[in-house]
């Protein structure tokens, strides 16, 4: 039992923290489906349900990044399938703009991810969660966590 406890603890230490903004109509349902289908994916995702991916103010992402989160995932309905018809098109532009700014400032744009996951794509959700976690693991811990002079 002791050995298991140790390995759990170790796993927790190396497990990145990823904030996921999931849209109510597609991606959150997709995550639900992944769960009910008993698909396995790392416990790194901290989900926040939003009514539409376009509810995600780019500054939420900035705040999370400066707060020390290791990765941010924004997920919504596929283009053309938005519950509010065009919300995700705006999300895409806002996200692209923010990512470009991260690129220009050389501050780890790879920690941000935009993905389209529909309510039926439980497998895709599990895959994105696994792959993104893997990618963030490779990037290592977000060093912002230890910065004081922000």
Partner 1 sequence: MTKALKINKNSEQGVLEVLKFLLEKGKVKGVFTLKKIGKDGAVAYSLITKSDELKDAVPFYPLMPVNAGKLLSRFTLRGSTTDPVIAVVRPCELRAFIELVKRDQGSLDNIFFISSTCGGVYPLKMAADKKIEENLSKYWDAVSKGEILTDLRSACKGCEEFIPYTSDMTVDLIAKNDIDKQCVILLNNEKAEKLVEDIKGGFLARELDKGKLDKFCGKREAEKKKLFNEIEAKVKGLDGFIDIFGKCIGCHGCSKVCPICYCKLCEFESPDSEYKPSNYETDLEKRGGLRVPPGITYFQIGRLDHVTISCVGCGACEDVCPVDIPLSSIYKKVGESVQKLFDYVPGKDVEEEIPLLTFEKEELSEFED
User: Smallest distance from the beta carbon of 4 to partner 1, in angstroms?
Assistant: 29
Binding of partner 1 at residue 105 (CB under 8 A)?
A: yes
Nearest of 50, 88, 46 to residue 67 by alpha carbon: 46
Q: Measuring CA to CA, how many Å separate 5 from each of 9, 16, 43?
A: 6, 19, 16
Question: Which two tokens mark 36?
Answer: 């009910």
Nearest to 75 by CA among 115, 129, 35, 30: 115
Please select the residue that binds partner 1; options are 2, 13, 40, 150, rule is CB under 8 A: 150
Single residue of 44, 53, 115, 133 touching partner 1 by CB under 8 A: 115
CB of 58 to partner 1, least distance (A): 5
Among 34, 94, 125, 133, binds partner 1 (CB under 8 A): 94
Chosen residue from 14, 37, 120, 143 binding partner 1 by CB under 8 A: 143
Contact 116, 77 (CB under 8 A): yes
CB of 89 to partner 1, least distance (A): 4
For partner 1, the binding residues in 60-89 under the rule CB under 8 A are 62-63, 66, 68, 79-80, 86, 89
What is the DSSP-derived secondary structure letter of residue 65? H
Cβ burial of 5 (10 Å; 0-12, 13-18, 19+) is exposed
* Position 96 contacts partner 1 (CB under 8 A): yes
As to burial, measured by CB atoms within 10 angstroms (0-12 exposed, 13-18 middle, 19+ buried), residue 80 is: exposed
Q: Does residue 104 belong to the site contacting partner 1 (CB under 8 A)?
A: yes
Residues that bind partner 1 in the complex, under the rule CB under 8 A = 58-59, 62-63, 66, 68, 79-80, 86, 89-90, 92-101, 103-108, 113-116, 128, 132, 143-150
């Amino acid at each position: 039992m002791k050995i298991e406890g140790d390995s759990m603890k170790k796993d927790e230490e190396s497990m990145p923290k990823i904030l996921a903004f999931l849209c109510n109509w597609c991606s959150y349902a997709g995550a639900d489906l992944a769960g009910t289908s008993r698909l396995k994916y790392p416990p790194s995702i901290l989900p926040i349900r939003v009514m539409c991916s376009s509810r995600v103010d780019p500054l939420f992402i900035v705040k999370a990044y400066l707060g020390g989160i290791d990765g941010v995932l924004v997920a919504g309905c596929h283009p053309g399938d938005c519950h509010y018809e065009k919300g995700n098109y705006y999300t895409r532009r806002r996200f692209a703009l923010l990512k470009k700014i991260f690129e220009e400032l050389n501050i780890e744009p790879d920690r941000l991810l935009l993905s389209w996951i529909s309510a039926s794509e439980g497998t895709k959700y599990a895959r994105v969660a696994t792959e993104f976690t893997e990618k963030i693991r490779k990037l290592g811990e977000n060093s912002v966590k230890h910065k004081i002079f922000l």
